[in-house]
Structure 1
């Protein structure tokens, strides 16, 4: 009796869910995929949309949607289009994103994708724009990034791209050195980057003093292809170092990064060809400080200690003043900062998807 009653109950109360049926008796349901039945009433694809037709300015926003793994096939599938903001396609099991402010496509490898639904979100806080797919997070745009540049003034030289030209008799003076005094600092470091161009005679000043003996000096001896320093504690003579050479041999037409460092007990020359790995050599073992009047006179290129002579005959050519710096007791001097990336002015068109809800759903586009 119990069995009959249970069967009767099943016949009286069939499954009320609005599946698409191929046959009522027995019930044969239609599925879009494994464990994904097709319904009479499809769920709403767009949860909320307040971005379409809006000029965003720097307003924070989020554009999010879910992509099913079955949409990411070997072919090319247009998944979501938000004109003026972003386009998303799938090709060869990879997601591709085209952002309005960038020319190249941004690809996301399939290793970051899961079987089933993959939530995708493009999120802006008004400064940064971040792409999030499952656990994958990448900063796509960062306007807070800044580049440090030497604050300098050109004297009888000019800038061509990232190189200094016409420097046979000119120099570059450094601004923003108020408060800097090499003579009282416990430690300091001066860095410079250049391309060493051979073919001239005499000496090339990498950096030095504008007048007298008032700044540390790093030079290139073109006859030996070696770096050396001149250092004065008196302001009137090279009493700490008079042509103290390092053993490094510079190769013509090669970019170098150099440093002159004072540790408190020694003066060190460092050289690198990649800007990361440096060879160092102590050229003077001394705790004597350079002359106290050094900082206002420090210049890059073309000046020599004692007489301000111009020895810039042929190279080196500076390739980047972002690599040129002055640090004393942990404080950086002579720098100004630029923010090369500006936040794009975005106006969003009508957001749409060319595939059905079994491939893209839960679309939400809102100003935060």
Structure 2
């Protein structure tokens, strides 16, 4: 039987109290959700020997989630990924959003959803219990039009399936792209990097980027014959260690894969991350058309993880299920616009398990 409990995680420098909600199963698997950013702060699961360990990398200090460890485990929005120049085309003309990365808007702007304290309440019970997080984003928030209400619900099953469901509504047309930004390291603290993890992605194409990490004009590129070909499980060391201009621009993977067959009504398998020494495996399923893989290219020890160790380059990998970067400016991409009366719904599932 899964159960949910609440405790105080700490206080931010500005005095805001952050709560920790723990979803725990009878088998020992558990997930910790923080009200700061509606974040997945910890996920404990067993390896093939039954040893429990945390497999997401989060900062030891809460304050680091607003600086060096920003986005770790957080729900990011109102628009995940980048919007070029922060220029949002609307029917009334271009609208300027807040910018926070090289003149672009990244993950919703300077004060995106990851910086907010969400309200939360327990939901479900029995074989699947969880936490529902809620946030109201007013009209003009970071420059975005319309008042948006967002709900993110985490549930954990006895079988070790973590399900994240996103729902959003607006009173004026606005772009919406919500994702979770957990950093995975399935070694549970045994390995300093994820370079010996293997990754499979169900995609035939990826989006090449420019120096600002924005998709280049034109169609997506075939992965065939490139370091981005993950149609067979590939060790990350071999993939990101290849000599390739796209890898040089990003310092590793920081790219969007175009999932097959695109947006779907029910979650379908998008990626599989595995760690041979422990046997841990995470299967990622989603209704979204894209997957941004980020291999922690810019970590440089600026913050400590929960065990007190500095987090260095390639210490973890993010699997961000999403619509495509810069979609509001790219009519050739699937639309991310939400209209009044419509409901944005998206589901991502992480199936935690072991392989022999």
Q: Which structure exhibits the higher relative contact order, with contacts defined as CA atoms closer than 8 Å and separated by 6 or more residues?
A: 1
Question: Which TM-score applies when normalising by structure 1?
Answer: 0.23
